[in-house]
Amino acid sequence: MTDLSKYRNIGIFAHVDAGKTTTTERILKLTGKIHKIGDTHDGSTTTDFMEQEAERGITIQSAATTCFWNDHRLNIIDTPGHVDFTVEVYRSLKVLDGGVGVFCGSGGVEPQSETNWRYANESEVARLIFVNKLDRMGADFYNVVDQVKNVLGATPLVMTLPIGREDDFVGVVDVLSRQAFVWDDTGLPENYEIQDIPADMVDDVEAYREELIETAVEQDDDLMEAYMEGEEPSIEDIKRCIRKGTRDLAFFPTYCGSAYKNKGVQLVLDAVVDYLPSPTEVDAQPLTNPEDGEPTGEVATVSAEEPLRALAFKIMDDRFGALTFIRIYSGVMKKGDTILNSATGKTERIGRMVEMHADQRNEIDSAQAGDIIAVVGMKNVQTGHTLCDPKHECTLEPMIFPEPVISIAVAPKDKGGSEKMGIAIGKMVAEDPSFQVETDEDSGETILKGMGELHLDIKVDILKRTYGVDLIVGQPQVAYRETITQAIEDSYTHKKQSGGSGQFGKIDYRIKPGEVGSGFKFTSTVVGGNVPKEFWPAVEKGFEGMMDNGVLAGFPVLDVEVELFDGGFHAVDSSAVAFEIAAKGAFRQSMPKAGAQLLEPIMHVDVFTPEDHVGDVIGDLNRRRGMIKDQMAGATGVRIKADVPLSEMFGYIGTLRTMTSGRGQFSMEFSHYAPCPANVAEAVIAEVKEREASKK
């Protein structure tokens, strides 16, 4: 199939538990892709195929699948809603042309839907809105429409209205065609009949229809003039205007239903075909200069005639080897082709190409502009790399990922596990750019870093189950630092006599606290040659070498200035080594005298809470030694900004959820280092000494 106007690349995104995966499942059933409907409640859905997803009932990684509706090909990506996995949503939106934002009929616009909506705005992705779960207690379609206006600042274009509410929800009215779609009690999606609009809804439908037409005709001046003069445009003309306005993000067609009860999903599929853009209708991806990342002014035009330009947006490891998910923007990719990875400058040969259906796959021989496919066994490709024709090198706009904020130390339970662990972690880092790993040089421990506690929890679970590596997991660790608070003047002499030439070096020096963020500074004001010039670098090297290991608890030292002002040397016994040793001894001798102090990392914390829990949340942040910086009231709750020490934030999500009956959310990032209170410093130092003793 080569007619690009019949392609729709769409993503389904929303807050945790709004029903994205269930909606995807219903779409697959309606399009004939699956025959038995799976369910997140019992872990049998198609797109949540990881064990961890089935158990927890949440989506962790985005899954891709392809299906057909009304002769159109839909490439669908189901994305996670959890705050720790927003990187999955971000990278999926980057390669899609349209999206369906799912909102819960009772929960409305929740914090994570705001984040995802913001990502979609940044990526300029056209969207439909589907208000789901209208069969639930407390569901209110009109309330959610208001929230979309007030919280997201978006314009919802209401296309369907619900018939009945909560348990009595039976179907929807299509506002444009003035038809009522009513489903029977069998629960099958195809068992509906088209009826007249219920008598008590006629006025509402007319009011919404008038609003719909007024909003739509703003997209076409001629139609608008005719409409002002009392001439109603044809359904085709209205649809054309809706399509244009949706593509330009002027408004978002809004539908309602219950995916779980199979009501209203067909109309959303029709809308995807009618209103969301095909690959040729969205703005072409800009090409950038690989040196500085600035746009070159050229774009990757979506056409099979152009040279190949594609973006690797996700890497997934499964039982058949590494899968690289690729969105082709222009040109054609065939099995056996040699392509260039512009990020590494290396070429790769395309082996097996597959079309994905969650974790099933169909082999294909070629793919073209507009397709989303996976390639098996690519060696050096990472997320965000551009793949192109070797004769036409280019770089597509790269992806930017957030820095991790939390780390844990892990070690394999048995000796043989360390090589296995290394290979597995290597694969996982390639799959998820927001997950990082490093080795602690002192202890030899492996440190995993991620976006939050749930993120790391799931990584450890994957290591255990998917790769069979059992780990001993340490407590989450805080990166403390040390500094000094007083200026002192001191002297140190190093002399050693052991037959033949000895070692001698005497230094007089001043140590004082430096400016915040200045690191280590060394100056020498020696006059008269008491310490010859050639030994100054050795003194500096001696002091600097000790900065990685503070005297309190062995943490790196920040912001210290050392001035060498006098000393003494011996014509035979003095050497660079003697002066370096003297400087090291001087550091150990003088640091405790200069008022050594422990510093702790302070995090910038952003908490969202419903209004009735604000007092509890602020009280709890104060108990965690937090400084409240700002409070902002929104439509659905209050955002509180505070600076809190990282050491007090472990396990915070659990406490917050308990306090706010599961509705609170937070995010945090590193802000600065600040002095530790004496009681905290004593506890940290005691803990470090205990750890050292146990290692011996």
**Residue 344 neighbours by CB under 8 Å, 6+ apart:** 380, 385
**Residue 555 neighbours by CB under 8 Å, 6+ apart:** 479, 480, 481, 482, 598
In Å, how far from its chain's centre is CA 317? 19
Q: Is 571 annotated as a binding residue?
A: no
Q: Is 431 exposed, middle or buried (0-12, 13-18, 19+ CB in 10 A)?
A: middle
Q: For 535, which DSSP code? A: G
Q: Is 17 annotated as a binding residue?
A: yes
- Tokens 């407390």 -> residue: 138
Q: Is 500 annotated as a binding residue?
A: no
Please give the angle made by the CA atoms of 390, 394 and 396, to the nearest 5 degrees. Answer: 130
**What is the rounded CA–CA span in Å between residue 604 and residue 515?**
22
Q: Is 671 exposed, middle or buried (0-12, 13-18, 19+ CB in 10 A)?
A: middle
* Of 351, 312, 293, 303, the residue nearest 330 (C-alpha): 303
Helix (H, G, I), strand (E, B) or coil at 115: helix
**522: how many CB neighbours lie within 10 A of its CB?**
19
Q: For 385, which DSSP code? A: -
Q: Is 47 annotated as a binding residue?
A: no
**What is the rounded CA–CA span in Å between residue 494 and residue 509?**
14
**What is the rounded CA–CA span in Å between residue 344 and residue 193?**
57
Q: Is 81 annotated as a binding residue?
A: yes
Q: Is 78 annotated as a binding residue?
A: yes
Q: Is 269 exposed, middle or buried (0-12, 13-18, 19+ CB in 10 A)?
A: buried
Q: Is 48 annotated as a binding residue?
A: no
**What is the rounded CA–CA span in Å between residue 647 and residue 642?**
15
User: Which strands, in side-by-side order, build the sheet including 285-288?
Assistant: 295-300, 285-288, 395-396
**What is the rounded CA–CA span in Å between residue 337 and residue 349?**
6
Q: Is 189 annotated as a binding residue?
A: no
Contact criterion met (CB below 8 Å) for 643 and 627: yes
Helices vs. strands in the chain: H and E counts, helices first: 16, 37
Helix (H) or strand (E) holding 74: strand 72-78
Q: Is 14 annotated as a binding residue?
A: yes
**Residue 396 neighbours by CB under 8 Å, 6+ apart:** 285, 286, 287, 288, 300, 309, 311, 329, 386
Q: For 283, which DSSP code? A: P
Q: Is 512 annotated as a binding residue?
A: no
Q: For 110, which DSSP code? A: -
Q: Is 337 annotated as a binding residue?
A: no
Q: Is 357 annotated as a binding residue?
A: no
Q: Is 616 annotated as a binding residue?
A: no
Contact criterion met (CB below 8 Å) for 308 and 334: no
Q: Is 239 annotated as a binding residue?
A: no
Q: Is 200 annotated as a binding residue?
A: no
Q: Is 72 annotated as a binding residue?
A: no
Give the chain's radius of gyration (CA, Å).
31
Q: Is 80 annotated as a binding residue?
A: yes
- Tokens 């044809």 -> residue: 234
DSSP symbols for 540-571: HHHHHHHTTS-TTTSPPB-SEEEEEEEEE--T
Lookup: tokens for 216: 């739509």
**Type of residue found at 669:** E
**Residue 438 neighbours by CB under 8 Å, 6+ apart:** 446, 447, 449
Lookup: tokens for 422: 């290394």
Please give the angle made by the CA atoms of 212, 218 and 223, to the nearest 5 degrees. Answer: 95
Known binding-site residue numbers:
14-21, 78-82, 132-135
Known binding-site residue numbers for GTP:
14-21, 78-82, 132-135
